[in-house]
Amino acid sequence: MKKTRLLILVLLLSCLPTLAYVGPGAGFAFAGSFLFIFAAFFLAIFNFLTFPIRALIKFIKRYKTLKHAKFKRTIIIGFDGMDYHLMNRFIKEGKHFPNFEKLAKEGTFAPLLSTEPPISPVAWSTFSTGVNPGKHNIFDFLTTDRNTYMPKLACSDILPPKRFLNLGKLKIPISKPKIELKRKSQSFWKIVSGKGIFSTVLRVPFTFPPEKFYGLMISGLGTPDLRGSQGSFSFYSDAEAKTFDVSDGVVEQLKKIPGDTAIAATYEGVLKGPGHPFKEGNQPLTIPFKLTVAKEKNTASFEIGAEKVTLEPGKLSQWIPVEFKAGIIKIGGIVQLVLESLDPVKLYFSPINIDPERPSMPVSHPKILSVYLSKMLGSYATLGMAEDTSAVNEGVLSLESLLDQIYFYQKERERIFFDTLKKYKNGLMVQVFEATDRVQHMFWQFLENPNLKVNGVPASKRARNAVYDVYKAMDDFLGQLIPKLTKNDLLMIVSDHGFNSAKREFHLNSWLHQEGYLVLKDGKKTSDKWYADVDWSKSRAYGQGLNGLFLNIKGREKYGIVNSGKEAEQLKEEIKQKLIDVKDNGAGKPVMKAVYKREELYKGPYTQNAPDVVVGYSIGYKVAWESAVNFVGGDIFADNKKMWTGDHCFTSDQVPGIFYSNKKIKITDPTLADISPTVLSAFGITSPSFIDGRDLGVQ
DSSP characters for 395-420? Answer: TSS-HHHHHHHHHHHHHHHHHHHHHH
CATH 3.30.300.130 fits 69-140+182-223+397-501+645-699, yes or no: no
pLDDT single digits (tens) 654-671: 999 999 999 999 999 999
Helix axes 399-421, 466-481, angle to 10 degrees: 10
Q: Which amino acid is at 446?
A: F
- How wide is the angle at C-alpha 583 spanned by C-alphas 579 and 585, nearest 5°? 145
Task: Return the half-sphere exposure (C-beta side, CA atoms, 13 A cut-off) of residue 618.
Answer: 16
Q: What is the rounded distance in angstroms from the CA atom of residue 183 to the CA atom of residue 660? A: 27
Q: How far is CA 257 from CA 133, 150, 266, 333, in A?
A: 56, 43, 6, 27
pLDDT of amino acid 66: 67
User: Residue 188: its pLDDT value, please?
Assistant: 98
Contacts of 695 (CB under 8 A, 6+ apart): 674, 677, 678, 680, 681, 687
Inter-helix orientation angle 399-421/367-377, to 10°: 100
pLDDT digits (tens, 9 = 90+) for 490-549: 999 999 999 999 999 999 999 999 999 999 998 899 998 899 999 999 999 999 999 999
C-alpha to C-alpha distance for 363 and 354, rounded to whole angstroms: 8
User: What is d(CA 526, CA 337) in angstroms, rounded to the nearest whole number?
Assistant: 39
Contact between residue 619 and residue 653 where contact means Cβ atoms under 8 Å apart: no
As beta bridge partners, residue 234 has 250, 349
pLDDT value at residue 249: 78
- Residue 637's DSSP bridge partners are 506
Q: Which of these, 669, 689, 660, 583, lies nearest to 103 by C-alpha position?
A: 660
Return the pLDDT at 523.
Answer: 82
**Closest listed residue to residue 501, CA positions, set 326, 678, 619, 332:** 619
pLDDT band at 276 (very low <50, low <70, confident <90, very high): confident
Q: What is the CA radius of gyration of the chain?
A: 26
CA distance 367 to 385: 20
10 Å CB burial of residue 253 (0-12, 13-18, 19+) is: middle
Task: Look at residue 351 in the predicted model and tell me its pLDDT.
Answer: 96
Quote the percentage of the chain above a pLDDT of 90. Answer: 74
| 678 touches 667 (CB < 8 A) | no
* Rounded distance between C-alpha atoms, residue 371 and residue 376, angstroms: 9
Going by C-beta distance under 8 Å and a sequence separation of 6 or more, which residues neighbour residue 600?
A: none
CATH of domain 504-639: 3.30.1360
pLDDT at 27 over 50: no
At 388, the pLDDT band (50, 70, 90 cuts) reads very high
- How far is the C-alpha of 507 from the C-alpha of 514, rounded, in Å? 11
* Every domain of the chain and the residues it spans: 69-140+182-223+397-501+645-699, 504-639
pLDDT tens-place string over residues 411-459: 999 999 999 999 988 999 999 999 999 999 999 999 999 988 888 889 9
Q: Which residues pair with 77 in a beta bridge?
A: 431, 493
> Does the pLDDT value for residue 15 go beyond 50?
no
Question: What is the DSSP-derived secondary structure letter of residue 95?
Answer: -
C-alpha–C-alpha distance, residues 692 and 674, integer Å: 8
CB 229 within 8 A of CB 223: no
CA gap 296, 543 in Å, rounded: 54
Look at the pTM and tell me if it is higher than 0.75: yes
Q: What 3-state DSSP class applies to 299? A: strand
